[in-house]
Amino acid sequence: MNGATSASETGNRKRNRVHRLEQPVAAEQMRVVVEATAGSKHAQIIEIRVYKWEERSRA
């Protein structure tokens, strides 16, 4: 993966957001880009969790 977008979010005002990818992504690094805030001069990300892909049904 070389600069590809795996997930994106707009208009998010929630404290917790989960993105489940349809397919696994092999990566050694991850980049988060905050393009705007809801009026604040600062954006704050407290925690990011990345988990190993597990095959599961999407029923």
| Tally of domains in the chain | 1
Q: Is the pTM of this model over 0.85?
A: no
pLDDT tens digits, 17-58:
888 888 888 888 888 888 888 888 988 888 888 887 676 655
Answer whether residue 9 is part of any domain: yes
Asked if residue 44 is part of any domain, the answer here is no
In this prediction, residue 2 carries a pLDDT of: 67
> Is 18 domain-assigned?
yes
Distance separating alpha carbons of residues 40 and 36, to the nearest angstrom: 9
Per-residue pLDDT at 54: 72
- pLDDT tens sequence across 1-25: 467 888 888 887 777 888 888 888 8
Amino acid at 9: E
In DSSP notation, 1-59 reads --S--S---SS---S------SS----S---------SS-S------------------
Per-residue confidence (pLDDT) for residue 1, from 0 to 100: 47
Residue 3 lies in a domain: yes
